[in-house]
Amino acid sequence: MKKITYSKFGGPEVLQIAEVAIPEVQETTVLIKVKAVSINPLDWKIRNGEMKLMSGSKFPKGIGIDFSGIVEETGTAVNKYKKGDEVYGILDVFKGEALSEYITAQEKDIAIKPRNISFEQAAATPVVGSAALQILKTLVNLKKGTEVLINGASGGVGTFAIQLAKIMGADVTGVCSTRNVDLVKSIGADHVIDYTKEDFTKGDQHYDVLFDNVQNHTFSERRRALTPNGICLNVGLGGAGWHEDTALHLLRSFTTPLMSKFTSQKFKFFIAELNHNDLAYLADLMQTGKMKPVIDRTYKSLSETPQALVYLEEGHARGKVVINVE
């Protein structure tokens, strides 16, 4: 079978298509014929060597975390899935090898793909959809009328966060560039701020929740945008004043209270841990039409993986970038 591999850290030029054996099914794993894979910033950061303390330096390495496909074979202890099932899920974050014609995955790391969405849409969901869901349901109690601002609203996590916050009853404001205003409105944002024309930290509006995917403002600037009891949710540890750590397999939530006689604002930092229950919940939302993944570009085959990663690395993707696997 064909698989994307690399034998040293570097840019897109280190990627190659290798011929390797189809992986063997173990007792608790499922063999899947891969149909589509979406890529994440973590993929090119691991490839570049930025995350080698976590990913290790043993080569050759594969690449890709999010996937969708069709079950080909199941291990003897697997009872939730059978041959022919259409599924989607995630591989080990630092050992991802989804960009391959066949993969094996743990039963707990996959869910049935909704029939009304494409393999490409399914592959675009696991990491960013689960991250947005866990952040919103774990760190805040959203209810009808809660004022939520999502900074980085047109990205992978942001497009899911908008839809999920609306489902939970919040009044949602999205922050994006001019070219993404219509997109952000189309997926449910009640209000949109074009950051090229307006700085949300300098306006009169204050928010109960600031969902910050970008972290391009200082703590004091973000405090000004919050209500006295507001919460700033920081996705990962990137942005102003932090070294980026996008280790999505870790679950960390810690709070920095900013206390005075006038305010009890909180800054919460969160990195998601993906699981079957969240994948199943997201699948239900997509099956009922309440949520839809946003895809910027779809590349046609494994051979276009370098171009896809170059585009993603430019930092202007709207929603997700997906690669078809043939």
What architecture (CATH level 2) is domain 138-271? 3-Layer(aba) Sandwich (3.40)
Task: Name the band, by pLDDT with cuts 50, 70 and 90, for residue 38.
Answer: very high
Give the whole-angstrom CA distance, residue 167 versus residue 137: 12
pLDDT for position 40: 92
Answer yes or no: is pLDDT of 270 > 70.
Answer: no
H/E element, 271: strand 264-271
| Average confidence score pLDDT of the chain | 89
- Give the pLDDT confidence of 172-208 residue by residue, as tens digits: 999 999 999 999 999 999 999 999 999 999 999 999 9
Identify the CA nearest to 96 among candidates 60, 62, 56.
Answer: 62
DSSP reduced 3-state for 13: helix
Instruction: Provide the pLDDT for residue 271.
Output: 62
Q: What is the pLDDT of residue 265?
A: 82
CATH topology (fold) of 2-125+293-324: Quinone Oxidoreductase; Chain A, domain 1 (3.90.180)
Q: Where in the chain is the domain with CATH 3.90.180.10?
A: 2-125+293-324
The pLDDT assigned to 25 comes to 97
Using a 10 angstrom Cβ sphere, with 0-12 exposed, 13-18 middle and 19 or more buried, the burial of residue 12 is middle
Tens digits of residue pLDDT in 101-129: 999 999 999 999 999 999 999 999 999 99
Please list the residue range(s) of the chain that carry CATH number 3.40.50.720. 138-271
Model pTM score:
0.89
Q: How confident is the model at residue 255 (pLDDT cuts 50, 70, 90)?
A: very low
Other beta carbons within 10 Å of 143: 10
- pLDDT confidence of 236, banded at 50, 70, 90? low
Give 198's contacts (C-beta < 8 A, 6+ positions apart). Answer: none
Q: Report pLDDT for 238.
A: 41
